[in-house]
Structure 1
């Protein structure tokens, strides 16, 4: 069978790289559903992009994620961006990736750097954060009590800020600098969204403008974290910034590029994806009235509610992998150097794993979602994210009388990390 038989249509290929497509989830998931049934390992040739394979089933996404020898993160861009954008970053930094964080590393280098902070995010370690997180959750509940019955933008006014304050505490960023971190995160992950992207991105050639804007955001991160590093070398504290400022691997201090990547991945992914799942959980409470009384009657179901919100949200839309040798997947010949898109949103709607995948069902147990990825690159902060969501809804659900939708949920235009940008709801409190 020739490779042409595996080709996805130009329409599908262009949809998968179009940031606006990720604001229309019905259309996106219809495409994923068709691909899982008809071409689960399809080759895409999108305008302005290098060709890539599109991986849509839970089994294949899991298998590729598990095999870190055959499929590398760092050999080419881990995000599917226009070729001109990647070329600009490559020419500027010598790497196809704008930073050098854990998600861009492979093998022992990834293992050794991940080990630096892993203990900070393990279940036993984050237990000490319970009081701090619960205090924040109670403050949110109190604010909603003051706004009783008013229409609020839950995504923008609540969900964005709750996990942000938690991760800033862990990292060691002063709370007065949290708004700056939020803006930079939105500009990094929302670089394709008109509401978030930098003005610089609108100048110059369209395809390379994204790379230029992203490099500008990284430069601002670098400026901030270089100052923080110097401060923590002089006055170390019990926080991750002090650990990174003074980190040593194999007897040598970690290099500046790796340190910056580490700071950025924690400062951004440490809250952005959690806020998206928080909004989707509230959306579910507003759209499915039977959920709230059930959770109030049995609070032990809240962890399952959280897991289902994570599956449903799937805020990381994709990561890319690069084949290190020729191989086969479902009879398709994948060549060394080929680029593969792992579609987590599709894997989390796979009918083979999740019966009635488009239903919001808190009774899925086990819930084998891939919202945090899989394998050695599984999200470092997965336990913290679940804890934050659980505590917020443990505090909020008993005090809610009713949640009503007050408009449609609006999504960030991004093919990489995307979640609710606006969620208008009316909360009636007890």
Structure 2
């Protein structure tokens, strides 16, 4: 039997898995820093959770992410409660080669830099309307997430998918419930997290099923119509594959970008000198976006399942073990980033892991960058001043680094 390397004394395994601690304390950066220094690959057995290896260094995360022949996506993506069933899925993000490549290829052409550039005008229009609406209200204090960070991503991804604007808030509610199932704010009274997840996914899939049926009859130039027409080895996608693909796009296109926007504004409030730099030199927007992604790390971790006996950083990893690659820790790795706990909008190079690494690198990365750059350009142009007006309310999750509410005082012109 393999002897597994335990974490250093004094580290509480629950700090890595308890979503309520992420909500009340933010990311456990001190814990991750200690692990990077003392035990960059070590075994955790949190009470009530499936055991896993925590991988905290940038290079080791890349090692795991780029070897799907050794570490699989097909046994679940996140650290799970003990005894939770692993449901087989044909979502592209849960597939290994050789199934992954063909499934990814049916959508990737719609997210290339060129394809995203063709959407600039609509993204600009949506962003302008959001800021115009806030300015028209004349508010001196408002929830930045509710008014700016949340409306843009759900509007953009819904427009790309071809969802009528009257239904955007439905998708927003369902994705909040699916992603935020562990947070009491997003659960209905009396529901368990599992019940919330099953209900919200069921309602979302019922809606998407109707949308897919309508597009089979009346196809357009939207992503849903494109997926319906796509083929893999001469065969169209199954109904389940279509539902899962569109669900993934709704969730990924909404949640992570929203959290990067709100987390970015929070970073600027904590580093006002960097906000002043951006106001003085908007040409720093591209590197400011990359630093925001590194700093916020909207996806905290993903799980990989060890298919064959392997080794990470000199530590033997037996086949059958789960490995958690903690992107948010890798993005503070002292061996990669100089002064990693400083938010510096001119940081370059910036090889962050916010979009993952390897063949599962986020296909919506170009779109997210454009949305972030657009919204921050509008903030530079139209937010005369701002300051925090209350405590930061974070999502209860060990996977999605989310800010639910960010109350600010400010003037949008």
Q: Report the counterpart of residue 137 of structure 1 in structure 2.
A: 127
In the alignment, is the contact (CA less than 8 A) between 1:187 and 1:196 conserved in 2? yes
Alpha-carbon distance in structure 2 between the residues aligned to 1:213 and 1:399: 38
Q: Report the counterpart of residue 70 of structure 1 in structure 2.
A: 70
Give the drift of 1:408.
Answer: 2.3
1:267 pairs, out of 242, 245, 250, with: 250
Q: Would you say how many aligned residue pairs link Structure 1 and Structure 2?
A: 413
1:232 pairs, out of 215, 221, 228, with: 215
Q: Report the counterpart of residue 205 of structure 1 in structure 2.
A: none
Alpha-carbon distance in structure 2 between the residues aligned to 1:225 and 1:4: 45
Change (3 A) 1:38 1:10: closer
Map 1:310-329; keep pairs closer than 5 Å: 310-329=293-312
In the alignment, is the contact (CA less than 8 A) between 1:192 and 1:413 conserved in 2? yes
1:103 is aligned to 2:93: yes
2:389 pairs, out of 406, 409, 418, with: 406
Change (3 A) 1:386 1:328: same
Give the drift of 1:51.
Answer: 1.5
Q: Give the stretch that moved more between structures: 172-181 or 277-286.
A: 277-286
Alpha-carbon distance in structure 1 between the residues aligned to 2:82 and 2:395: 22
Q: Report the counterpart of residue 40 of structure 1 in structure 2.
A: 40
Alpha-carbon distance in structure 1 between the residues aligned to 2:370 and 2:134: 21
Q: Report the counterpart of residue 79 of structure 1 in structure 2.
A: 78
TM-score, normalised to structure 1's length? 0.91
Q: Secondary structure at the match of 2:28?
A: helix
Q: Report the counterpart of residue 232 of structure 2 in structure 1.
A: 249
Q: Report the counterpart of residue 166 of structure 2 in structure 1.
A: 176
Q: Give the stretch that moved more between structures: 392-401 or 138-147.
A: 138-147
Give the drift of 1:263.
Answer: 0.9
Alpha-carbon distance in structure 2 between the residues aligned to 1:195 and 1:8: 35
Q: Secondary structure at the match of 1:36?
A: helix
1:18 is aligned to 2:31: no
In the alignment, is the contact (CA less than 8 A) between 2:135 and 2:412 conserved in 1? yes
Change (3 A) 1:5 1:236: closer
Q: Report the counterpart of residue 367 of structure 2 in structure 1.
A: 384
Give the drift of 1:142.
Answer: 2.2
1:193 pairs, out of 161, 177, 183, with: 183
Q: Give the stretch that moved more between structures: 402-411 or 8-17.
A: 8-17
Change (3 A) 1:334 1:77: same
Q: Report the counterpart of residue 293 of structure 1 in structure 2.
A: 276
Q: Secondary structure at the match of 2:311?
A: strand
Give the drift of 1:11.
Answer: 5.6
Alpha-carbon distance in structure 2 between the residues aligned to 1:63 and 1:177: 41
* Deviation readout 1:5-31 (Å, 9 max, x if unpaired): 434669632221111122244561111
* Deviation readout 1:343-370 (Å, 9 max, x if unpaired): 1111111111112212111121011110
Q: Report the counterpart of residue 410 of structure 2 in structure 1.
A: 427
Change (3 A) 1:288 1:330: closer
Give the drift of 1:130.
Answer: 1.0
Alpha-carbon distance in structure 1 between the residues aligned to 2:135 and 2:44: 50
- Unaligned residue ranges in structure 2 (runs of 5+): none
In the alignment, is the contact (CA less than 8 A) between 1:50 and 1:83 conserved in 2? yes
Change (3 A) 1:289 1:179: same
In the alignment, is the contact (CA less than 8 A) between 1:246 and 1:253 conserved in 2? yes
1:120 is aligned to 2:110: yes
In the alignment, is the contact (CA less than 8 A) between 1:287 and 1:405 conserved in 2? no
Q: Report the counterpart of residue 30 of structure 1 in structure 2.
A: 30
Alpha-carbon distance in structure 2 between the residues aligned to 1:240 and 1:9: 50
Q: Report the counterpart of residue 148 of structure 2 in structure 1.
A: 158
1:52 is aligned to 2:33: no
TM-score, normalised to structure 2's length? 0.95
1:347 is aligned to 2:330: yes
- Unaligned residue ranges in structure 1 (runs of 5+): 203-209
Q: Give the stretch that moved more between structures: 138-147 or 409-418.
A: 138-147
Alpha-carbon distance in structure 1 between the residues aligned to 2:237 and 2:259: 32
Q: Give the stretch that moved more between structures: 395-404 or 346-355.
A: 395-404
In the alignment, is the contact (CA less than 8 A) between 2:26 and 2:394 conserved in 1? no
Give the drift of 1:157.
Answer: 2.4
